[in-house]
Structures are given as structure tokens and as C-alpha cells.
Structure 1
């Protein structure tokens, strides 16, 4: 089976000429084209054995210049077939198939939006990419237009630039091929969620093709009757020149979400809850279906991506790819969050929890142009696969503020019986004039090379240099004088990141490697929001970039006739200069303290054990330690939260015949500590940790005929109660969904 990578592009001939000039300007060895004699690189292909539903041999990124078995880095690839078997509708659900990723909730009364998570102990929500280009915004990313999800772990500054302390996630879009097909699915989830998707590909002319992916979903969030979600997605794409030396693609994606926002529920009664009031301390849990918002709370998300690509064979083994993308996302939310518990009497009917009105209005934009040349050649008797490129990026985040008094006042909710129809007074939302507008412009150049020294030894290396400039314009409102005051802060600099690996191949299908990689995170990296120089936080422009390094010793093996990939790695990641401290107020001199180390082991298996038996599994350990600085909750030690010592995932299916497939899996998440200050007692601290849990899922699929298959998914088979996310104060939680079923009809023509 051949899986074509979606790295082909669309552009005009002038743009191609400009890209060639840009490549020449950074000294790329175009002369090596003449050395290519045999194999064409018309398409980057992933070769896999027939019916291997989970395993791929290569990632889509041209920066990864070797097959996965010869890549000295931990990389997981989650294919669309696995996503479909599990009935996953979002990227967060798909990421359950790789260990070491934990979800997050917001600070105290506030609530995070979109995909917010950590990877190997580091925040990773700003390290999400679509087809190799950074994707911004507070968006819950849908899976309907995803060919595969690629998860690269460990510092990856050479791959993607600033940030990426824990790695990055790349979403590969579905694009046209010459093979015509029509696929659709209709799903109904116990509780009322209805979802439909369509995937249609048609060819035209001698080398063209068109593809359309679409999605619509409506219904309450799994596990809650109040949290209604409405989503619509539309992703058209068109291609010319398929099967020719020059391939052109034009594609876009448009998503609209209209949701009831989730502020979480009080953690009262959950294992680990503590309150000084004796009545609350022994109080029972609230109902998981309770919603503490006010009718009229809303969350609306618009997300659009427009992409043009061209891929052109400069020579039989040299291919140029140019990608241009414009993207925009907007999130508008007004939410009644929850905060302080009150138990004035012994009667639980009188117990309440305060509501706080919150507003988030955020718009993200990106304009990017990337050019890459991949060439295979022999130089000095050594085989090279060289990837070089130039990236031009402009990213912007604009966040206007609403006048707090115009959001209205919400009465306290009854703890056990909240009323969404409670009267909201003074609600007339208007902009205050205050805002934050951050922008980062980046010019980056990179080169990666895999050098085969002989049949047993390879060297893999990469270097990226970039120039960035981050600027933040802001205005704050003095509510006493009703006067706005503005500020402008900016920081620019140069970053250089590297990766290097030495790889030994005992056999053709196995490797042992030792690798080093780093990344750098300058102030304002996550949201382009620099703070005033009096602020002791990581966004202070007076600070230098944080430095993250990683050493990894690993081995990879393709076994059972290359149908099953086995991986194992020992890693140690160190992050320095994490915590700023003012040392001289007169000269405004800052020192940067803090060294955090995360180390562990990660094991993986993906592919087929037999022709009928497929499996994907992984287990990861994380040992997080503060090597320099304090471990208090409000210092550098707070970064060690939400890092389970062990996490694991497994999914397997067995095909009894051409019609019946049975499968299932389990996810284990170890204890995630919230309390990391050794001076505080866990016995008298509210929710010192998220308790460990194991969740088991199951699936059965039956093919009625060649065109129709029915699929039944059972989630949380043993109805395990568990906390999914917890906020930093421990007062609010979101719970994992209880046991429920989803029935899907899949159509293929």
C-alpha cells in the first residue's frame, strides 16, 4: 500500500522564481542536482505493508530526512484509520493514542479555551502546526479533515523555531488524489450528539483532482446535558499536475463553532477535596450534569485557513516545495465562571457558590511563506539526503477587552441545584477601549542532512537560524478616571537551534541512536504578549530566552516483515532560565534562575502482529525535578504541575473475517500533582493532585456489504469516575465522561 504525503504545493511561476532566488541567497547546493541519475522524487511516499492500518514508514515533514526507523527522535504518527475506529471527533481525542500528554484548565476563576495541554511536562498549545505551519488560536481542532497526526517529542527548535520545549504536533490535511472515492459517516451518541461527515474525491482532465471534506455536529457534550455544541466544517481542495513533475494545490478549511461554554464544576466531594468548613469538608459530590452558567452564556469560534502550494522537480532527485498560507481565527466568549463556596448553615440547600462573569475576545492571524528543497546526492563518497529551506512568518494576536461592569452581575448559584435561569442584572456588553495587540515577525533558514557513512552508521543533523521581532501595543483603562493609557513594548533577537544524532544499524530493519536537540523560548513566545519591564514574569522583554536541551538514547525496530514498529527511548530534558528575579531596581537589572529537569523512558509499538491483529500502544514515564530555584507553588516549581510519573495507552483490533472487526483499548494516567510545595501539607490542601485513573473502551464493526459498515463504540466501559482536568487552585474540575455508546454508519463508494 502506498500512502502519498501531502507536501505538494500551489503557486504561480513568479512565486517559484522568487523562491529559487531565495534558496540561492542562502547558499543551497543546487549544483547537486546533476548528480541525481535514477529515482524520481515526484512525491514523498510512505511505503507500508498491505492492510497495516496504523503504521507508517515516514512522517510528512521534509525536515525529517530519513524513514522513522532511522530518525533519532521519538515520533508518533496517528493515522485517520485509527481515529475513525475510535470514533474520535477532535485532535485532543486523537492524542489519547500517545502517552505523556496531559490536559489543562485555566487559572482560578478563569477558563482556558481550545486545545490546552502539556507534552513531556511543557506547555504545548502554541506548538500545534498544520502541514508544517504554526496554527494559532483558542480553537478546539476538529479531526474531519486530518490525514494523520504527527507528534514529535523533545525540544525541537531546529524543526519549528522558537518555543517547542516539549515538542510539537503536526496535523496533515487531506488532499486530492487521482483515485475517485466517496465516503460518509453518520454517528449518534448516547445522550443526543449527532455528527455527520463526508469525504468526496473526483478527478478531472489528465492530471487534476478535486476533494471536499465536510462535517456537521450538534448535541450536548458527552457526559453533560447542558453543554450544547454546534460545529460545522468545510474543507475544499483542488489539484493540478498529479503524476507530473509539477503539482499544484489550492486548499482551504473553514470551521464554525457555536458552543455553550464549560466553566467546570466545584471539586467538592471529589477525592482530595479540602475545605476549612467542616460541613463542606465531608459534603457529597455535585451532579456531573450540573451547569453553573447563566442562560445566554456563549462561545463562538470562527477559524479559516487558505493555502497555496507548489511542488516542482528541479531534477530527478531534487524537489522544491513552496507553501503560502493565510489564516485567521476568532473566539468570542462570555461565561459565568464559579469561584467561592459558601455554607452558612448545616442545610445543604442553603449552600452556594459564587459566579464570576468572564469575557474573552481574541483574534489570531498568520501569514506565512515557506520554501523547501529536498535533494538526494552523493558527495565525497557519502550518501546525503539534504533538506534546506527558508520561512517567512507574520503572526498576530489581538485581544480587546470588554468593560467589566457591562458584563452584568450573576447571583450565586445553589451548590447542588444551580439554576441557569437566574436573573442576570446589568448585562450590556461594550468594549472598554483597553486591548492587547501582539505581533511576531520571523525570518528563518534551516538545513537538515542525513549522511550515510556506510551500511551500519548514519549521522543526522539540523540547524535553524532565525531573526524574530515581537512587539506588543496595549491600552489599559483607569476605571476611576475613565482614562486610557497606552504602552508599546518590543523585543527582537536572533535564535540558533540545532539537532544531531548518531545512528547505528545492526540490521536493515533496526537502529540504535544517541541524539541531542535544543530549543529557545524568548519572552512573548506563546501569545506575542510582552509585559512591562516591572513585571517579574517570563514575558518581560528584559529577559533572555529560556534554553531547553534534550539528550535521548533510543532504539527502533521494524519486525514481523516490517509490519510492526517497536521503539524505546531514554530521555533527559533540561530547561534553564525559567524564573526571572529583579536584582537591581535602580538599573532595572534582572537575573534568571531556575533549572527544571524532566527525564524518563518511553516505549511504543504500532502496526500488525498478524494480518488480522493490529495494535498501537505506548507507555511513558516522567520524573520532574527542580535542580535550581524554589519548589513553591508561586515560583519556578509550579511548572512541575500536571506531570504524571507514568502514563500509558493501548488500542488493538482483530479482524475475524472480511466483515467483523472487534477492538478495544485502555488509557492509564498516573497521579498529576497540583501541590508541589513541600512546605504545605497535602492533608490540609484542597485537591493536592488529580488521582490516577484507568479508562477502558471497546469497539465492534460489521460490514453489511461493500458499501456500508456499522460501528459501535463503547466508552468508559466500566463507568470509571475520574477527574479529567483541574484548575490551578483546585476549586474547579472537569470530569471524564461516564459510560456511553456511539453508533456510526460508515459509507464507502
Structure 2
């Protein structure tokens, strides 16, 4: 039920009561008496809720319904995540095509949510309620209403970076209802899941909500690897269903995990080693654990938010959101690297190991003030969103090492990191912990930004959409590096102004459809991704040098969107080109680096979400893209070799995802599949792939299934089976090709859902 005005609702209810109580009087009045009552018009429309489909984004910067928004936006609602038994953000993002996960560079396993979207790294473009969310953390979905994926350059939406879009996580907030929803789950690998979502109305216009999470258990298909976490997210709201609303909410998450360094790639399709014996070696057991019992990962995340909303009238709303957040990731992990074959007997073969440390702190302080307005200009309807954003983001990384060295006269002994037996590793090997060297990088970016978006309706069929963002930033880095066994302090800063914008034209051939053409850009200044600036140097390939121009991404998209089957099913189709310019590249003629490189991505994406019938839900997407690097050369001074990259790593040509469910009385059956085509690791022009170790990740299909039975109004039983056909596949591969993380084998979770 959608009600255009709360005030109209109260007056109409009063009139209805009078009419019922005094039937001979209420509406047998003269026309003059009725004129004195002067009831305002009330418009009431009825709409059936579609579990998978959202009609509008929770982001106030998107002024139109999704049907009339000239860009690709996918909303993944909690109802579908609940059916799938999804726990993490990475599991939620499997529902959108064009996203792939990453593992990291050689010995350095990436931490937290690390992924590519449409050919560009996107993990630093994750937001919570429109505020950037920092940290090398794995995000849980227990406190999320929905996940919104916005694709295409989005500098005007969120500021620096955002070459291929951003992820916006929408928090659960109190409502004027009394509801309790809880889940109790147990699955393979001794996994247990407990969640609770408790919403309690406190008064006529206030409510309290508490979301809780506890997860614990081993990892399917892996020895010694386990995860444990809990979360608490309280919130309280005042003034609900009034003109002024206040929300106070926070989220606190603790994780204590055993990190997974993966397994050697020996024996896998595409493995290569110059040693003929190793090249003919067999696969290792996928359950093998090459770390130590002392490996650990401890993550703390805390976030406090205050949001105020005030409706001046039905057409003008003012909002303010203030947030402080901090996360810490303390991790010691053992990764595998080179192979050794001292004899021809495989039982004597070993694999080198590296002890890695992530010791990172992130902190953010943000304040956003925004205004939404609807008005007429020269008889043309405008819907406008404008705002001011102030933000401080900090990141501190501390350095560790394992080698023997003397730093400023202080001797450090080597930390023992013996190799592991390749086919029979022991988790009880004595591996020393890396020592803190005193090296660190401490960076901060301060941002002040103004933005305005407007949709101008020329008539019932044509609309113009545009937005612009003016942003001033300043990035400062203080650091200490270890050079020639001495601590070398350094500092750098970069500041400037960025102007990002977008424009679109939209045509509605019918009320339930739209065709659009849009353009958008984004700018990425040095240090914007990791708060780490390097001193300017003409012979450096770093994109973080002080003095570099910001990289600029331009994005053009042509698309169409349709609401079908009485607006229960949304169909979207878009073709796009994204080009990122001013990347650092080597000029062989001048023998120095210039900003000449480009990355270009051309793609087509098709999406479908909603209801095929009252009992049949579906969400599906397929994306085809072609990535290309242009004038992207690098030079290795030690060998004098200049190489050219022509493609983009971990960017498959084709990705597809499907999830569907059908309800038969009290029984619901569902399932889905996802496909990822081959992902290239080696993208260097003219390279003989037969001499390269694991030049790509092979394509794979994975299917899941679900069955649920409603016992009564309060109890629902659900069984999820993952990787139904037990597909053996590589989920992620490191940049050097020496180690892989395998996809989860067949596994299951049985969940009891309780609702009151």
C-alpha cells in the first residue's frame, strides 16, 4: 500500500469514522457544507511486494525509479540472500555478472573482500549507506537490507576512483512493527550459523532494532582452516511516520579466522616448470594445509552512525548522516611459492613458504548533508538531489620481515621458515613469526565535495538526466622504509580539485519501458586507493607518484529497461564502453615513463529479476566483455626487457548467474548456477604460453540447490546444497601462478527459520 500523504490519510480516516457514526449526516450535507469540510485529495495505490525485485534505489542521489535511471543498477534484496543462505558480501555478489574475485600477488594473499568488476579493481569502492567503507575485511550480510551494485564510471556519485562502479550496502533500520526473525543453521564441516533480527515498536513513532550474528566452523575441503565471527548491530529511531526522523545505529563485528594460503598448482591444467621432473608431477591433495597452527587472522570492525531526515513538505526533504568507523586487521599467514625436487622421488619434494603479515588500521570520519526536491521550472518537472560531503579517511600499515639484518645498529636474527613437504605437509612445523621492523605507511585523505543531480522531464516521454560533483582532496603520507638495512623516513602529499559529471537522455516508448543513452566519467588521483604516495620519479612505473595527473575514466552506455508482467518482472539490456586513460607506461624511445597507457572495456549485459508468476521467482544475468590495454608497456631494468600488456588479468569474456525458486503450497524448491569463462593471468603480447605457469584459470560451472518447507506460520525449514555436482575448479589464482585457492566442494547447510 503506497500513500502519497500521511496528513491526507489522517483526515480521510477521520471522515470515514464520522460517516460510519452518523450516516444520516456525514455526506448528506449541502454542497456548501461539503465545501466547508474541504477534504484534501488522497491517492491510494495497491502494489503486491515482489520478493526479488526492487523498484527504487535506497540511494537518494538516484532521483528516479530504477526503470528510468540511465545506468546499470542491480539491487540484491535480503529475501534472495536468505533463500541462498548467503553469509558474506562475496557470496551476495555472485548474483551479479561481471564480478570476479582475486587472490593477490605472489607471496601476498589479498585480505578481505577483493574483487574486480568490469575489468577494474573495485574493492576500494564499497560503501555503507552511501559512505565509503574502508578496511581489509570480509563483510557479513547479517545487517543488510539489500546490496546495490551500480556499474559504470561513477565519479559524480561517489568521488575519486569508481572506474567501473561501486557497491552500496544498505543497513537494516527500525520500523513501526513488532517482528522477530531468527535462524539456526548447521552444516557440513561442522559449521554453525545463528542470526537474529528483532524489531520492537517503542511508542507511536519510535522503534528499536537489534541484529545479531554468530558463525563458527571449519572450511569445507580444507584441513585446519576455520572461521569464527560474531556481530552486534543495535539501532533506535524516533519520529517514524512523522516529518522529522532520527536514527542512531551502530555495527560491531569480530572475526577470528585461520587464513588460507592456498595450495601449489603443480599437476593442474596449465602448470609449467622448467624442471622436467616437476613439470610431470601430480596434483597435491586439495585439502593440504601448508601453514602453521599459529597462523591467525583477527578482524575488529566498529561503526557508529547518526542520520536525521526532515520533510519540509511532500516535495522537499533534508538529510544529514554522520559516521565514525574503524577497522583493524591483524593477520599472520603462510603462503606457498617455489618448488624443489632434490631427488626423482616425489615424496622428497618440497615447497617454499613465505610468512606474511597484514597489520592494518583504517579509520573514517564523515558527514553528509543532502537535499531532495521536486519542483516545476517553466512548466517542466524537475527532481533534484544536491549535497555537501566532508570526509577524512586514514590507513596505517606496519611492516614486518623474516630475514636476518641489522637496522640502525640493531641486529635481527632470521625467522625460521622451512619448506614444507609438497605432498605431505605438516601443520606442526616450527615456523617463526615475522618481526616488526619499524617500517610503516600512514596515509590520510581529506575530501570536501559538492554535488547536484537533476532529472528534467520535457514531457511524458522524454527526460534529461545530469549531475556534477566538485571535489577538493588532499592526500598525505608519512612513512618509514627499510633501505640498505636502515630506516629511511619519508613524506609526501598531493592535493587538487576534481570535477566529475554524468549526463543522460531517456525516452519512454511506453509507461513500463525506457531507452537511454548516458555518459559519465571518474577521476583517480595518485594515492586515492591505498593512501600511499611515492616521490615523483621519471623512471618509476608507479601510479602513485606525486605530481601525476589523475587517471580519467570515460563511460558511454546505451540501454533499455522494461517492467513486464504487470510490473512484476524487470528486464534490462545495456551495451557500454569504458576507457581509463593516463596510466603510467614506458616509452621505449625516450627510455622513461609517461602517462600514455589506457585500458578499454567493451561489453554487453542482460539482466532479469522478479516474478514469472505469483509462485515463481527468478534473478538472472549474463555479461560479455572484451578488455584491452593500449600503449601499456613496462620495463625491467635488470634484464633490459620491455614488455607490452594487451589484456586485463582476471577479466573473463563471459559470466552468467541464475537463481530461481518455485513455491508449491508449503514447499519451496529453488536452485541456481553461475558460469565464469577462462580468466587470463598472462596478458603480455607475444608470450609463448606453453612456457608460462598457469597462464589462465579454466572456465567453470557451479550449481546450487535449495528446498524449504514451512511447518507452520512460525517455523520454516530450509536445506541448501552448494556445488551440487561437486565441480572441481580453481576459484582464485595468485598473480604469479604458483598457488591457487580451490572452489568449495559439495557442501550443505540445514537452517531453521523462526518468525514471530
Among 448, 455, 470, the alignment partner of 2:453 is 448
Match of 2:127 in 1: 129
Aligned to 1:732: 739
- Name the CA distance, whole Å, in 1 between partners of 2:55 and 2:331: 42
Residues 686 and 731, structure 1, Cα contact 8 Å, conserved in 2: yes
Match of 2:703 in 1: 696
The structure 1 residue matched to 2:677, chosen from 670, 681, 705, is 670
**Is residue 2:565 matched to residue 1:560?**
yes
Identify the match of residue 370 of structure 1 among 337, 349, 368.
368
Measure how far apart 1:478 and its partner are. Answer: 4.4
> Secondary structure of 2:124's partner?
coil
Q: Which residue of 2 aligns with 1:515?
A: 518
Aligned to 2:383: 385
Task: State whether residues 584 and 593 of structure 2, in contact with CA within 8 Å, keep that contact through their aligned partners in structure 1.
Answer: no
Q: CA deviation at 1:284?
A: 1.9
Distance 1:458 1:227, change over 3 A: same
1:545 aligns with one of 533, 550, 573:
550
Q: Judge conservation of contact 2:122–2:162 (CA < 8 Å) in 1.
A: yes
Q: How far apart are residue 408 of structure 1 and its match?
A: 2.5
Q: Which residue of 2 aligns with 1:7?
A: none
Aligned to 1:433: 438
TM-score when normalising by structure 2: 0.90
* Cα separation, 1, equivalents of 2:274 and 2:688: 14
Please say if 1:169 is aligned against 2:164: no
Moved over 4 A (4+): 1-4, 37-41, 580-585, 631-636
Is this contact kept in 2: 1:632–1:676, CA < 8 A?
no
Matched, 1:644 2:652: yes
* Structure 2 residue 500 is the aligned partner of structure 1 residue 502: no
Deviation per residue, 1:474-523 (Å, 9 max, x gap): 0123463xx42211100000000011110000001100000000000000
Q: Helix, strand or coil for the counterpart of 2:157?
A: helix
| 1:402 matched to 2:400 | yes
CA–CA distance in structure 1, aligned partners of residues 389 and 42 of structure 2: 25
Cα 1:543–1:590, aligned 2, differ >3 Å: closer, same or farther? farther
Q: d(CA) in 2 for partners of 1:551 and 1:536? A: 29
Aligned in 2, Cα 1:576/1:40: closer, same or farther, shift over 3 Å?
farther
Deviation at 1:209, TM superposition (A): 0.3
Is contact 1:270–1:285 with CA below 8 Å preserved after alignment?
yes
Cα deviation for residue 638 of structure 1 reads: 7.2
Partners of 2:191 and 2:256 in 1: CA distance: 14
Cα deviation code 1:301-346 (max 9, x no counterpart): 0011100010011233100000000000000111121111111222
Report which stretch shifted further, 306-315 or 113-122: 306-315
Contact in 2 for aligned 1:638/1:676 (Cα 8 Å): yes
Structure 1 residue 289: deviation in Å?
Answer: 1.2
TM-score after normalising by structure 1: 0.91
Aligned match of 1:112 in 106, 110, 113? 110
2: distance between equivalents of 1:705 and 1:570? Answer: 46
Task: Provide the aligned C-alpha RMSD in A.
Answer: 2.3
1:457 correspondence with 2:462: yes
**What's the counterpart of residue 90 of structure 1?**
88
Verify: 1:474 aligned to 2:469, yes or no. no
SS at match of 2:277: helix
**Structure 2 residues not aligned, in runs of 5+:** 5-38, 404-411, 637-641
Indicate which of 495, 500, 503 corresponds to 1:492. 495
Which of 423, 436, 443 is equivalent to 2:430? 423
CA distance in 1, matches of 2:646, 2:396: 28
Instruction: Sort the Cα spacing of 1:413 and 1:397 in 2 relative to 1 into closer, same or farther, 3 A.
Output: same
CA distance in 2: counterparts of 1:648 and 1:339, whole angstroms: 32
Aligned to 2:582: 577
Say yes or no: does 1:612 pair with 2:615.
Answer: yes
Q: Is the 8 A contact 2:586 2:634 kept in 1?
A: no
461-470 or 217-226, which moves further after superposition? 217-226
Instruction: Give the match's secondary structure for 1:84.
Output: helix
CA distance in 2 between partners of 1:48 and 1:113 (Å): 46
| Secondary structure at 1:144 match in 2 | coil
Match of 1:599 among 572, 583, 602: 602
| Aligned residues of 2:629 and 2:646 also touching (Cα < 8 A) | no
Matches of 1:251 and 1:736, distance apart in 2: 36
2:532 aligned residue (518, 526, 529): 529
Gaps of 5+ in 1: 5-36
What's the counterpart of residue 21 of structure 1?
none
Contact 1:269 1:286 in 2 (8 A): yes
Summarize the alignment of residues 256-295 of structure 1 with structure 2, pairs less than 5 Å apart.
Answer: 256-295=254-293
Larger Rg: 2
